[in-house]
């Protein structure tokens, strides 16, 4: 850090003001993109799906829980996993506290995974989360929305080998790479109108970074994410960091 440019407060303020103008433009562009997301066409979900919840089986429209909007986060936790994906778990730490605020704006939030409900409930207790989490075990939902894919298709796609990162993440989830990579993290938004659920938006990969609150904070520190090149796989479940790192 000591090799970084050092200047006076006046020099810092001038550079900061130049950066502020760019940050404001970035914010305005973000507002435009948000409107473009809302302008996407709606796709009716005509097939009936059932999900296992803490209150019993429900349909997709019933997941709205009396509200007109629904956000579904497809949490990577396949049937063969023994624990949820570490990256998804780090996101969950951020959105867990957001649920009441979403509910207040006519939005229901839930996570959906293919693991049986009892596995999800046990992991949720371990992590200390309170957000709704339902199971699509035995349903075509994940496959129809191309959030999950059959393991045979994954096996064929991995004919050239598995990356060390994927192998490591699979091990952390207590499963094999094929089972791990048959799931994907996806955020989907729905609207409910006249009893019909419509898919309105979906994103994955780096489109999900906004859900990782710690990234935005790290981006504003002197060292940033400090992940190295190639990026270090440093994210862990919050109860797995060394004690001195947890504070």
Span 124-136, pLDDT tens digits = 999 999 999 999 9
Between residues 233 and 76, the one the model is more confident about = 76
> What is the pLDDT averaged over residues 152-158?
94
Span 162-188, pLDDT tens digits = 999 999 999 999 999 999 999 999 999
| Phi/psi of residue 89, nearest 5 degrees | -65, -35
| CB-based contacts of 199, cutoff 8 Å, min separation 6 | 42, 43, 45, 145, 188, 189, 190
| Domain extents in the chain | 43-148+183-209
Tokens (6 digits) for 161: 């080998």
pLDDT over 70 (residue 247): no
Return the CATH number of 43-148+183-209, one of 3.40.30.10, 2.60.40.1170, 3.90.550.10, 3.40.50.1000.
3.40.30.10
Confidence of residue 232 (pLDDT cuts 50, 70, 90): confident
């Amino acid at each position: 850090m000591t090799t970084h440019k050092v200047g006076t407060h006046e020099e810092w303020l001038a550079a900061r003001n130049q950066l502020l103008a760019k940050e404001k433009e970035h914010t305005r562009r973000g507002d435009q993109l948000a409107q473009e997301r809302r302008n996407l066409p709606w796709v009716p979900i005509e097939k009936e799906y059932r999900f296992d919840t803490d209150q019993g089986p429900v349909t997709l429209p019933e997941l709205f829980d009396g509200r007109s909007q629904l956000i579904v986060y497809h949490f990577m936790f396949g049937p063969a996993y023994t624990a949820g994906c570490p990256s998804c778990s780090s996101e969950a730490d951020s959105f867990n506290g957001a649920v009441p605020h979403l509910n207040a704006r006519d939005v229901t939030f839930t996570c959906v995974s293919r693991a049986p409900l009892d596995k999800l409930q046990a992991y949720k207790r371990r992590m200390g989360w309170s957000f709704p989490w339902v199971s699509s075990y035995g349903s075509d939902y994940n496959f129809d929305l191309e959030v999950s894919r059959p393991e045979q298709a994954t096996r064929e796609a991995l004919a050239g080998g598995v990356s060390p990162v994927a192998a490591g993440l699979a091990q952390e989830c207590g499963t094999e790479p094929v089972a791990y990579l048959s799931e994907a993290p996806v955020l989907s938004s729905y609207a409910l109108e006249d009893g019909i659920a419509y898919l309105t938006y979906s994103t994955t990969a780096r489109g999900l970074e906004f859900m990782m609150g710690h990234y935005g904070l790290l981006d504003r520190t002197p060292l940033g994410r400090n992940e190295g090149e190639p990026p270090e796989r440093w994210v862990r479940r919050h109860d797995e960091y060394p004690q001195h790192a947890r504070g």
